Chains A and B, each alone.
Chain A
Amino acid sequence: MRSHDETMMLQTPFHSRVAKACELNQWDEWKGYTTPAAYTEVEQEYFAVRNSTGVFDLSPMTKYRITGADAELYLNKVMTRDVRKLNPDRVGYTIWCNDAGQVMDDGTLFNFGENNYRLCSYTRVMDWLQWSAMGFDVEIIDETADFGALAVQGPTSCAVLKAMGFKGIEKLKPFGISHFPFEDAEVMISRTGFTGDLGYELWVEPPKAITLWDRLFDAGSNLGIRAIGGNALEMVRIEAGFLQAGVDFVPAEETVRIGRSRSPFELGLGWLVDFDKGVFNGRQALLKEKREGSRYAFVFLDVEGNKPAEHSFILKGNKEIGTVTSAAWCPTAKSNIAFAQIESKYANSGENLTAEIYYQTELKWTRLLAKCHVIDSPVFSSPKRRQTPAPDF
């Protein structure tokens, strides 16, 4: 990796292959890294994830290694969930809050056993982690650049990995971690992802990254493998109901204006808050919110028609009660989905609301009042996501 004073944009360990595959030459920025928005055609990439295998370079994901005698104790204070319940060789979805009980970020926590953890996050959060570490015996290292990572997601993903020679990979349970020898080194595979389907994430040290990419695409050549960019990932994650930090909520410590951050309860993540475990960041504020009620609620909306309700106001009658944070037409579920934050009293299953959608065709803006209603769960969830042993297709 070149340092930032030599280049404006950092490159991932897979960059030479990513750049070659990125025929559209369409790039985005992700925490300082250059990352493809799309390689060839967003729809094709989308359908690769849903019907065969899509490969997403997630190396820019911020990674922290947290070790030391108090690592578990420490993480239990930082995270809202009970980290003690996360067993070794398991990955947990987690969020963390500031003292005001507002979500700073979500991420995944990898337990490597013996007080050795990896935290993956959207934000760079070293400052907060270090402040939180006062009084604990822990060491925190930013290892973002020390590992490249590929998300290998879709119905044939297990078959692809088997074809690569990762024996027994089908037995890996959802949220499990396993290690495999690879080219006189090692690749770590976790059964995790951001697509709501069967899928894995492969973690490798940078010198082996290119070999891993090449062998992966060789093995997947007959199994419909295709590199996917951020745009396709955005479609699948909305379909699968996953929140995106910076899109569906503003990381609390990055907000400038009062009231713009959100609590776990307001994001539908109350299930990640455990009051039985003692002190954790946000506890007092969240207890108060629990007693007094939340301002907002996060809801999935099924919107009539096929115009994505991007950035729409949500109305109850004529009254504005919220806004949409993410929206997409979901091809597999064949539904028009929106994530919205609305006043909490309207967040009832089946509640009929209106999305005020604006869209433009050939410079003509159209205002559309689309009926929508609150639904209980995401529109896409494949049973393969939980099946063990994982199916070949």
Chain B
Amino acid sequence: MTNARYDVVIVGAGHNGLICAAYLAKAGRKVLVLERNEQVGGAAVTHEFSDGFRVSSCAQWLYQFNPNIRAELKLDQYGYELAAENLSTIALSADSNHLTLSSAELNGASVTESDKKAYQLFIKQMLKFSGILAKASERRIPKLLEANWGDRFALFKLGLEMKLLGKEDMQDLLRIALINIYDVLQENFDNDLLKAALSLDATLGTHMGPRSPNTVFSFLHRRLGEVFGFNGVSVVKGGMSTLSQALANAATANGVEIRTAMPVSRINSTADEVTGVTLANGEVVEASTVVSNADPKTTFKSLLGFQKLETGIIRRVSNIRMQGNVAKLHLALDSLPQFDGLDENQSGQRLIIVSTMDAMERAFNSAKYGEYSAQPVMDISIPTLHDKTLAPEGKHVLSALVQYAPYKLAQDWGSVKEDYAQLLVERIDEFAPGIEEQILSWELLTPVDLEREFHLTGGHWHHGEISLDQIMMTRPFPGATQYAMPLTGLYLCGAGAHPGGGVMGLAGKNSAQEILRSNRSKTNLAGKKENVA
């Protein structure tokens, strides 16, 4: 029996893997995508967590999906549909004097006129900064050493764009880029709830508190969505699986072959180049290009194996910071929870429980020392208010991202899961009295569960911290930029590659472009170009 042979094999059908596959197939490559789970989508999926109740399993909002990808892959034709878009964020207050944040204005929480004005200026300036990041996100990031003219030009452009911000904004960017969101927000605002709400966007999904360095950068990263045309978060109809299925449909329509429930046990290589993959069932697939949608640690440690890698790479891979702090709580509810001071329309917005920046910092302190925080921070969605298909008639689903719940807990997560879920429910109950009695069933996915279900090392949904030492030319690590990895023919296309995590899709698209640029994917294993005659 001869082995199956493809131009490109992609390990993992996360959204980036599917996007990468679709672009490669559009360009005429013969592409196979291998997914370990039963369904495509990676961490952008929907699952039934209780009889008749479905929920987006990991990512719950869409807020920075790149619009060019949506258009170029014609996703609207393949099933892309939103149930709600441009939702506001409502920061819940214990006294029901909640704060509503939209990208244009603030309401409630006795916010002063001066804070409102400062907010508009702040958002405007952040949008300018995120704009530079967005441009960088959509193009090839230059190498720092051994740069060719193209790389030097790209670096020059990055510098020029900063310069073009104007003197004041450029000075501000250089001043705040390396400090923390806490200080920046203290400088700009008075209202504690407002500051806490904004600092959530800087810390969600990271191992950082508001006072950690790099939080300004992660804030700008989060705000990329606004550059891409989002005015707040959106809810995908049918949950995140719908997006992933649309991507899979687009890929398949372009000729991509997708095999699910097909774990890859290793990426095969000689000393210098990849040759394909071996599946868990023993089957060997040959390809001159292998693209990993897995996180960098999984890719290098488990799929390639450290024995096959040079020590410097091992050291860099091992040092990638990726410790997740987010747990996911899913509640199946008998009826709509009644949040104090919120009507039904408001309950469908993005509800966050943040209290103050100091409280958040203390919550992070717990995580640093291997404890979950007794004052959890939450990002809550009730998707059933926009999409009735997710629950039986009249019933509801509440889905919450919860931090800080450290991956490295001093105890075993299994032994404290119920206590923690109880603590979370009690916390929500403070704002939605009686919710405890409405619960029909619940599910809590700790970072350890997220790691197991979605193969995210450390339960880190960005495949590595989004911080200045792990972005752009140093993502996933210095020397492995431009998607090509140290072994010829190996590429990364997931959140571990530039421009990083979030359901954005650019890592997959950029990676495809890089692969097409290299030409290798056109060559067969003997290294001869096809159709040379």
Contacts and interface: CB of A to CB of B under 8 A. Distances in A.
B312 A281 contact: yes
Contacts of B313: 99
A282 interface: yes
Contact of B271 (A131, A136, A279): A279
Given A284-B272, A287-B272, A279 B309 contact: yes
Contacts, number: 49
Given A284-B272, A287-B272, A279 B310 contact: yes
B457 to A, nearest CB: 15
B311 A131 contact: yes
A78 interface: yes
Interface in B309-349: 309-315, 318
Interface in A116-170: 128, 131-132, 134-136
Given A77-B307, A279-B307, A279-B308, A132 B314 contact: yes
Contact of A283 (B301, B310, B315): B310
B110 to A, nearest CB: 55
Contact of A134 (B270, B312, B318): B318
A99 B271 CA distance: 14
A9 interface: no
A134 B310 contact: no
- Mostly, the B contact residues are helix
A73 interface: yes
Contacts of A78: 311
A99 B318 contact: no
Interface footprint category on A: 20 to 34
Q: Is the interface of A mostly helix, strand, loop or mixed?
A: loop
Contacts of A73: 307
Interface in A268-321: 278-284, 287
B305 interface: yes
A192 interface: no
B486 interface: yes
A135 B306 contact: yes
Nearest to A96: B311
Given A134-B318, A283-B271, A287-B272, A99 B307 contact: no
A98 B307 contact: no
Contact of B311 (A99, A278, A284): A99
A128 B314 CA distance: 11
Nearest to A77: B307
Contacts of A283: 271-272, 310
B315 to A, nearest CB: 5
A281 B272 contact: no
Nearest to A282: B310
Contact of A131 (B301, B307, B315, B486): B315
Contact of A132 (B272, B308, B311, B479): B311
B315 A281 contact: no
A282 B486 CA distance: 11
A331 to B, nearest CB: 43
B490 to A, nearest CB: 12
Contacts of A131: 311, 314-315, 318
Contacts of A99: 310-313, 479, 486
A134 B306 CA distance: 7
Interface of B: 270-272, 301, 305-315, 318, 479, 486
